[in-house]
Structure 1
Amino acid sequence: MVGYGYIIETTIFNFLGSYDYDPNIIKHDSFYDSELGAFFSNALSLPITATLIATFRLNWLWIVFFSGYFVGVEWLFLKLHIYTHHWWRLEYTGLGLPVYYVLAKIFYKWILLPARGFRHNLMLYLITGSICASAHILPMLFFMNRFYRPGWFENVGRDSIAFSAIYYLCVSLLYCVIVRINWKTMWIKYILTGLFIYTVNKVLIKIEILHSLVWWDQMYYVSLAICLIALVNIIDKRLSKLHE
């Protein structure tokens, strides 16, 4: 549900400018501060309640209750001026959350019942994306280790986060494909992944999209890629075991 929420947030928040958060935690960049507010919503509060509804098989009354609760919280944040709508409306939240919670119940059934092919691959991708996005973007918000400048938006922070979102969506797919391939020698996938991410970083620096600001930046993302391959491999085997 975190992975699904990230994809929705990438679309409506990063690219379509639906709303802004103002938690006033990150001082050096207002958009990064807004991004952190979106992160708390999509990585913590919403997926926690979605998991609660799915795991305990709560009925429509609970779905309506939690949907109404978050609409109320959103209304309160608007009144407290720590959240601002642009084209987004409370009605969209009220209509979207029931769909989100129903999807959580569907995904939960997929995990419990035998499922291969598309279902397995979709769950693996969403789980991978949630981990990859968090590990990729959070250091940028707090440590300013890098930023991207593809030139899509005038605001540097928004430009950087938008490109980061496309980046994590693409590399998450890459990690899933690499893990799903049957390699005769297991260590080859780790070497190829590390070399690929290193090369991509160098190319992005060369064309002046990526601006690396600290000495450990590229080392971190190459190491992250290798660690994610190992983690995604464990998750893939776990999902396969559940489906046996």
Structure 2
Amino acid sequence: MHNSYWFFALLISSTILFCFILFKKRNTQTLFLYLTMVGYGYIIETTIFNFLGSYDYNPNIIKHNSFYDSELGAFFSNALSLPVTATLIATFQLNWIWIVFFSGYFVGVEWLFLKLDIYTHHWWRLEYTGLGLPLYFALAKLFYKWILQPSKGFRHNLILYLITGAICASAHILPMLFFSNRYYRPGWFENLGRDSIALSAIWYLCASLFYCLMVKINWKPKWIKYILTGLFIYTVNQVLIKIGILHSLVWWDKMFYVGLALFLILLVGLIDKRLSNQILAVKSPS
């Protein structure tokens, strides 16, 4: 059980740090940046972890499926500790000395987790982490500048997609990890858990794009987009069930994802307007 203590330590410390950032900044731009970095991290993790098998986590929290347990360990890193630190660096305008410091800190944490045997490398190396994190933190500073400048072009749409992906992926995959409400079996990997999470990742990437496109279309009347979204998600679920890829295991499963889609259309629309119309007063870090 000691495995989980270290991951919960990351959870608690990241939560405290994020609450501190929100308390000091008290604006939605900070939250948007955090979600942007989560969404960006998810894309990287989908590539190197889900599909390329870079490493495994062993938090020993989810007992019934080892890959789901590993996926949860990745969640602690990519949805909590790394994006929260990136948000701190960008919103407080910390310089390269701090970027190097935090990069070294996380390399040290990764080394410690390796020694504790709660994290395992396959082809990944500590050097890759040490080289990748400064770029990740620097990118957070760039994204924050974009968020502070309302726009309608590529920058706006990229930020909106990453935010949508962060919310969509978390809401889609976490119920599968904890409640085993469904699994996917496209046949890409022998391990059922990895196979299921891999297709879930493709689902959220495509669904996030769909939600962003639906929000951008000027529907009249507006309720039509909700009807079309609900029908589309329900139909996709039914098709995947018919061809044997989706296996729905609980009575509320399909209703949950249809309801989630409708909620995301509403939420993404609000975020889109906020990103477009916000008038910002950038505060100096204190």
User: What interval of TM-score do these two structures reach, taking the shorter chain for normalisation?
Assistant: over 0.9
| Among 147, 151, 162, the residue aligned to 2:187 | 151
The aligned residue for residue 230 of structure 2 is 194
The aligned residue for residue 236 of structure 1 is 272
Cα deviation, residue 116, structure 1: 2.2
Distance 2:152 2:223 in 1: 26
The aligned residue for residue 83 of structure 2 is 47
The aligned residue for residue 212 of structure 1 is 248
| Among 121, 126, 140, the residue aligned to 1:104 | 140
| Among 70, 74, 78, the residue aligned to 2:114 | 78
Q: Deviations over 1:167-203 (max 9, x none)?
A: 0000000000000111111100001000000000000
> Alignment partner of 2:158: what SS?
helix
Q: Deviations over 1:108-145 (max 9, x none)?
A: 00011243210010000000000000000000000000
Distance 2:148 2:179 in 1: 39
Amino acid at match of 1:133: A
Cα deviation, residue 243, structure 1: 6.8
Amino acid at match of 1:207: I
1:226 paired with 2:262, answer: yes
Distance 1:218 1:127 in 2: 24
Identity %: 83
CA contact (8 A) 2:58 2:119 kept: yes
| Among 105, 124, 131, the residue aligned to 2:160 | 124
> Alignment partner of 2:221: what SS?
coil
Q: 1:227 to 1:114 in 2, by over 3 A?
A: closer
| Structure 1 gap ranges (5+) | none
Amino acid at match of 2:40: Y
Q: TM-score, normalised by structure 2?
A: 0.84
Amino acid at match of 1:122: L
CA contact (8 A) 1:77 1:83 kept: yes
1:20 paired with 2:52, answer: no
Distance 1:178 1:243 in 2: 25
The aligned residue for residue 59 of structure 1 is 95
Query: How many correspondences in the alignment?
Result: 244
Instruction: Output aligned runs, 1:161-176, within 5 Å.
Output: 161-176=197-212
> Alignment partner of 2:100: what SS?
helix
CA contact (8 A) 2:237 2:246 kept: yes
Q: Deviations over 1:35-83 (max 9, x none)?
A: 0000110000000000000000000000000000000000000000000
| Structure 2 gap ranges (5+) | 1-36, 281-286
Cα deviation, residue 10, structure 1: 0.1
Cα deviation, residue 242, structure 1: 2.2
Amino acid at match of 1:59: N
Q: TM-score, normalised by structure 1?
A: 0.99
The aligned residue for residue 9 of structure 1 is 45
Distance 1:178 1:6 in 2: 22
Aligned CA RMSD, in angstroms, stands at 0.9
CA contact (8 A) 2:46 2:198 kept: yes
